[in-house]
Each structure stands twice: as C-alpha cells, then as structure tokens.
Chains A and B, each alone.
Chain A
Amino acid sequence: QKEVEQDPGPLSVPEGAIVSLNCTYSNSAFQYFMWYRQYSRKGPELLMYTYSSGNKEDGRFTAQVDKSSKYISLFIRDSQPSDSATYLCAMSASGGYNKLIFGAGTRLAVHP
C-alpha cells in the first residue's frame, strides 16, 4: 500500500463546475499538507499549504484536512479552462525539510 493514494483521473468537467480532488494517506505522523498544480512540461507550483487539520481558503480554492480520517481535499469553485492541469497532493511529517511524499497526481481537464 502506498503512503499516499490519489486517483490519477483523468477528471473532465465543464467550465464553472465545482471540482473536488482528494488524497488519502496512511502515516499518522504527517502534519503538513500541500497541494501543487503542475502544467504540462512545467515544474509544480504551490497552491495551498496547510498545517494539521482544518480548512483553508484562497480565492476559488479551498483545502480541507481531516486527520482523523487521514483524508485531504482540494475544492476548486467556478472552474476555468486555465485550471486544466495535474494536481499533486504532498505531505510531510515535520515541514518540508523532511522528504515530501507525493500522490500520483490527478489530471484535470476543464472544457468550455
């Protein structure tokens, strides 16, 4: 069993839809949770950074962490074609100085 599980998709939605992306994990020591967006042939870009449980909102993006269920989510409201990318969840036990454990990435396509 992988430490971090993420459905690779692809996920195809119409413009304006609410997108829900999820990861589950097995290591209860994880405290830091991140979502990265990666466009084709580009490096990952940090979208959301969360410590421990709870919600965090930034514009159209909301990150949720439920440590009791070992489950994290990223919601994208009013999705746009420019949101089409691969979304990677990542987590670590004690900040980024520890190795980041990545999910496989979910490919998202938002069509007009």
Chain B
Amino acid sequence: GAVVSQHPSRVICKSGTSVKIECRSLDFQATTMFWYRQFPKQSLMLMATSNEGSKATYEQGVEKDKFLINHASLTLSTLTVTSAHPEDSSFYICSAMGLDVLDTQYFGPGTRLTVL
C-alpha cells in the first residue's frame, strides 16, 4: 500500500514553455502533498506543501508564480513550471501523506525535467 505515482517520468521542453507534472496517490487519500526538487548528488529541497482544497504554502525563495501548485482532489496534485528556463532543469519529486497510512511521507518516482 501507500503508492504514489508521477507523470511524466521524463520531459524535455523548450525555454519559455510551461510544463505540468502530475502526482497521484493510488491507494490512499492524500490530505497533504509535498513537492521537492533535487539536484544531482544532493538531498531533497522542499518547494511547497499543499493541502487538498487549499492554497499551497511555499518555502522561502520559491517563486509561487513560477511554480504553480494545485491540489484539487484527495488523490491528485499538479505542479506547473511556467515559462521554464534551463536553470529549472532538475529532478522533481512529490510525496503524499494521508488517511489510513503511517504518519509519514510516501514519495513518487520523480520527474526529470530538461529545459533546452
């Protein structure tokens, strides 16, 4: 149990375009979802926390107008990188917490974004 999926697993886009990444909890209801960014050989950097039906809470230094987060249902959160630039290229990972699972975060497999 406690499976989280992400789609797509890999995306390449041109500079200036927007990219949407989906995060789904497959077998539990995710009351809270988190979005992280990870650079090569580094640990995870929390970008934002979202609760279902509420606006996301962004970490200091993360541009909320650039990284749009929507948590419209108990099983789906989306991260949209708007007007992407090469420096946005990174590994994006979501995690979810919810009902009837351990009181911790379960991670998705990650999405590798490359902006040309």
For residue A6, which residue of chain B has the nearest CB? B43
Q: State in angstroms the CA–CA spacing of A96 and B108 once bound together.
A: 15
**Which A residues are in CB contact (< 8 Å) with B109?**
42-43
- Does B104 make an interface contact (CB < 8 A)? yes
- Does A75 make an interface contact (CB < 8 A)? no
Q: Interface digits, A18-54 against B, CB 8 Å rule (1 contact, 0 not)?
A: 0000000000000010101000011111100100000
Q: B104's contact among A95, A102, A103, A107, by CB below 8 Å, is which?
A: A95
How many residues on A have C-beta within 8 angstroms of the other chain's C-beta atoms?
22
**Which B residues are in CB contact (< 8 Å) with A32?**
103-104
**Which B residues are in CB contact (< 8 Å) with A100?**
34, 46, 104-105
Q: State in angstroms the CA–CA spacing of A102 and B34 once bound together.
A: 14
CB of A44 within 8 A of CB of B42, answer no
> Within residues 75 to 116 of chain B, which ones have a CB less than 8 A from any CB in chain A?
91, 93, 95, 97, 102-110, 112
CB of B49 within 8 A of CB of A34, answer no
User: Would A88 and B43 be within 8 Å (CB), given that A97-B32, A97-B97 are in contact?
Assistant: yes
**Which B residues are in CB contact (< 8 Å) with A95?**
103-104
User: Would A49 and B108 be within 8 Å (CB), given that A96-B97, A97-B32, A99-B49 are in contact?
Assistant: no
Query: Which of B43, B91, B102, B112 has the most chain A CB within a 10 Å cutoff?
Result: B43
Q: Interface digits, B11-40 against A, CB 8 Å rule (1 contact, 0 not)?
A: 000000000000000000000101000000
CB of B42 within 8 A of CB of A104, answer yes
**Could you list 25 A-B pairs, sorted by A, with CB under 8 Å?**
A34-B104, A36-B107, A41-B91, A42-B109, A43-B6, A43-B95, A43-B107, A43-B109, A44-B44, A44-B93, A44-B107, A45-B107, A46-B2, A46-B104, A46-B105, A88-B44, A96-B32, A97-B103, A99-B46, A100-B104, A102-B43, A102-B44, A103-B43, A104-B42, A107-B41
